[in-house]
Amino acid sequence: MTIEEILTEVKNGEVSVSQAEAMLKQKYYNTVSGHETIQMMNGRRQGFTEDDLAELNNSETDQCMVNTVSTGNYGTNSACMGDAKMGYNEMGYAKLDSDRKQRTGFAEVVFCSGKTVEQLRSIYQHILDGEGEVLGTRASKEQYEVLKQTFPDISYDELSHILKIEKQNKPHYGNVAVCSAGTADIPVAEEAAQTAEFFGTKVNRIYDVGVSGIHRLLSKTDELRNANCVVAVAGMEGALPSVLGGIVKNPVIAVPTSVGYGASFQGLSALLTMINSCANGIAVVNIDNGYGAGYLATQMNRMALGENNM
């Protein structure tokens, strides 16, 4: 319901001024500019009168707020946002970073684990309204089953646990190689690959090329050297990134996984191997952090291509 409609109901006696105040607060309280408009309308923390409602309805600040809320274009109008005060959408349980894409080149991504389906539904709707697509990581099948009732176009990958609504026919640029040491590392590798693809990167998957059969890796040398960067996903002792660092000239992003037996310590052994690698040009992300690797790979890919080639 718009402010004009609320004002009309007040004038027609359908709702009281106090009811209209509650409706406005429910509608706009979760945005900083809306809250400030309510608090600053007449310089006092008193209830609304019909004149206050009329002032709010005609307020330039409010019109800016309404346009901002409807378009999801936060943080770009300093007159509307009060300089750097906005830049996010206050939801109580979450503060959606609505201008992150303008600052960093990437829209906010949802970490689904630990969130209720009601929270996810609202978060996905807000991001979808602003960006036209949403990427979520570490989602469960149960979350997917509920959300698909609201978002028919949503897709879920049980291997990577990625839950996304993606624009169709999206172009992909550049070349990033995503390698896994073993088949058991593929879930993390897929999180990296699908993250990079969501952000417009062309991905070449090279799986099960660990050092226990190094001839498999060496047979892919030309493909690896043609990539703008290489993501190396490995558990156990985590030796794959060190080998790759010695045969390619472009950066290697090492991803330790929790795959392995007892003394691997849920990926700690692979992490320590990668951090202590004697090979050059290796960056290491956290254990099982395929998303972080896919994000970083996309940044490197974009830098290699340059803006004019994307």
DSSP-derived secondary structure for 270-293: HHHHHHT-SSSSEEE--TT-HHHH
What pLDDT digit, counting tens, does each position of 274-290 carry? 999 999 999 999 999 99
State residue 307's pLDDT score: 62
State residue 271's pLDDT score: 96
**Whole-angstrom Cα distance, residue 112 to residue 189?**
18
Reading phi first (left if > 0) and then psi (alpha if -120 to 50, else beta), residue 94 is in beta
State residue 68's pLDDT score: 43
Q: Start-end ranges of CATH 3.40.50.1970 in the chain?
A: 173-309
CATH tag, 173-309:
3.40.50.1970
**Whole-angstrom Cα distance, residue 18 to residue 12?**
14
pLDDT of 259 higher than 90: yes
- Quick one: how many helices (H) and strands (E) in the chain? 15, 11
* pLDDT cut 70: percent of the chain above it: 75
pLDDT of 67 higher than 90: no
What pLDDT digit, counting tens, does each position of 223-243 carry? 999 999 999 999 999 999 999
**Whole-angstrom Cα distance, residue 119 to residue 125?**
10
pLDDT of 81 higher than 70: no
The overall average pLDDT reported for the chain is 82
**DSSP category for residue 211:** G
State residue 211's pLDDT score: 92
- List the structure tokens of 219: 């047979």
Closest CA to 65 of 131, 1, 3: 3
Q: Are 114 and 98 in contact (CB under 8 A)?
A: no
**Whole-angstrom Cα distance, residue 301 to residue 116?**
34
Non-local (6+) Cβ contacts of 44 within 8 A are none
State residue 37's pLDDT score: 44
pLDDT of 257 higher than 70: yes
Instruction: Taking residues 89-107, report their average pLDDT.
Output: 86
First-to-last C-alpha distance (Å) of the chain: 41
Compare 69 and 152 and report the one with higher pLDDT.
152
**Whole-angstrom Cα distance, residue 191 to residue 296?**
13
CB atoms within 10 A of CB 54: 15
State residue 11's pLDDT score: 75
